[in-house]
Amino acid sequence: MVIGKGLLGSEIAESLHACPKTIGTYHERLKKKLKIKHGAELIRYAVPWVEFRMS
């Protein structure tokens, strides 16, 4: 999950060969699913998840 690596939406889009608008939609869907209001909260949620998966 690249959001947990601190990449910008445009960088995520490039790495996944997707449109930046698509990545924005994915972010919004994740926030809604996780009941998170702000993008910073989503990143705080994602970073420990990525660290756990990498160990």
Domain of 41?
2-54
Total domains in the fold of the chain: 1
Chain segment 6-41, per-residue pLDDT in tens: 788 899 899 999 999 999 999 999 999 999 999 889
Query: What is the C-alpha separation between 49 and 42, in angstroms, rounded?
Result: 11
Query: What is the C-alpha separation between 54 and 19, in angstroms, rounded?
Result: 26
This prediction's pTM: 0.72
The residue among 50 and 14 whose pLDDT is bigger is 14
8 A C-beta contact, residue 22 and residue 10: no
- Structure tokens given for 42: 């989503």
- Structure tokens given for 28: 């919004």
Q: What pLDDT, on a 0 to 100 scale, did the predictor assign at position 11? A: 92
Q: What pLDDT, on a 0 to 100 scale, did the predictor assign at position 3? A: 67
CATH number (domain holding residue 35): 1.10.10.10
Q: What pLDDT, on a 0 to 100 scale, did the predictor assign at position 24? A: 92
